[in-house]
Amino acid sequence: MEVCYQLPVLPLDRPVPQHVLSRRGAISFSSSSALFGCPNPRQLSQRRGAISYDSSDQTALYIRMLANSEIEVSVSARNVRRLLSFQRYLRSSRFFRGITVPNSSNILDDDYNGQAKCMLEKVGNWNFDIFLFDRLTNGNSLVSLTFHLFNLHGLIEHFQLDTMKLRRFLVMVQEDYHSQNPYHNAVHAADVTQAMHCYLKEPKLSKSLTPWDVLLSLIAAATHDLDHPGVNQPFLIKTNHYLATLYKNTSVLENHHWRSAVGLLRESGLFAHMSLENRQLMESQIGDLILATDISQQNEYLSMFRSHLDRGDLCLENANHRHFILQMALKCADICNPCRTWELSKQWSEKVTEEFFHQGDIEKKYHLGVSPLCDRQTETIANIQIGFMTYLVEPLFGEWARFSNTRLSQTMLGHLGLNKASWKGVQREQLGSGDDVDPTFEEMDSDILPQEPRLS
């Protein structure tokens, strides 16, 4: 996969030059980042992992704000404490003073009440309710679930990870998702990570994947939408946003998610004990996974996947083939909402549509031309979801079922068929009540895909 040109990242072990920190420049179009609630360049310079903008060459530089380690530690401590209960305050404060907490294998016991712990015992169940889990963990579903999965897969022991650094990394990841986004937030990242875990358990994968593969998969899933601004790539391009400039209008968001993840990995020092070669390989392969989630590249990946399946030449003993399957698995995890139970799928559909409509409202306000699917006056959730399922979800999960024809695959296809039928029912009701409905969707085949009994 071609990766667009990247500017060099400043070394993490050196103070940032003052002349770099002091650079300021206004983004064209009256600071497009302000249109959808993102910080302006002056605010960005105060943010961990911020991007500084230079108007002279229309280029953005990633800079890590580590000029003063004492300041950095205090800021990180303050940020982490927002996520901690009073009972966990002492543990976190000892961590930020550099004091090792003994018997760290029991750290999970301090984080979950009884109900959340019971849920984690069924983390591999496809009916896992991430919304309930997020409430039980007081909004910390991404940290709690991902830490548990690292432990469950034996990654902490295998890679000799410092549990305090791991927790710090996950807290920073969770913080860098925008909680005000209806859809692209930390709960979505936790949901994708849980789905990825389900796919890693599938027989073809579980017997072939290495701990390295599992490690990359979980990190990529947890960070795949990191720092998502709540608008799509065309919006960033047409407003001349600094991210579009930085990545030359190519996989803008995915490149940003990847680079943001790399920045937090380095800042946390989670893998500082590994060789430089292994760290660079990890960063590159995480990038390959995250870049594969670019929906504009869907047909290319699907065509490659279909060709492999037609030829029957996928060999999971081959590292490159395993990596490609992990890319497809992450793509499935990213858009698996229509394959969940109706109760869960409907919630996700409402959230993503509200995010679309919010972008449309901004576009109307600033006379930008409303993007497809973003006009709340002409679109409906039912129309959007039926089209999404028909053109994106069904083709992908149909091929995934060819690759891994298991109970889980059939369950996902069953839910997908039932959910599509449910949205068509909603659509007919809207048509009967006189609401606008796209007639092209009424002509689509309404056959429900093969179903299997739901997981208990």
3-state secondary structure of 29: helix
d(CA 442, CA 439): 5
3-state secondary structure of 58: coil
User: Dihedral of CA 159/163/167/169: which sign?
Assistant: negative
10 Å CB burial of residue 57 (0-12, 13-18, 19+) is exposed
d(CA 153, CA 410): 25
Active site residue 19: no
Considering the candidates 184, 197, 241, 257, report the single residue annotated as catalytic.
184
- Binding residues for Zn(2+), by number, are 188, 224-225, 334
Task: Find the Cα–Cα–Cα–Cα dihedral 91, 93, 97, 98, rounded to 10°.
Answer: 30
CB 352 within 8 A of CB 188: no
10 Å CB burial of residue 348 (0-12, 13-18, 19+) is buried
d(CA 382, CA 109): 42
- The 3 state secondary structure assigned to 148-211 is HHHHHCCHHHHCCCCHHHHHHHHHHHHHCCCCCCCCCCHHHHHHHHHHHHHHHCCHHHHCCCCH
- Binding residues for AMP, by number, are 184-188, 225, 334, 385
- The two tokens of residue 247 are 């990545």
List residues with catalytic annotation: 184
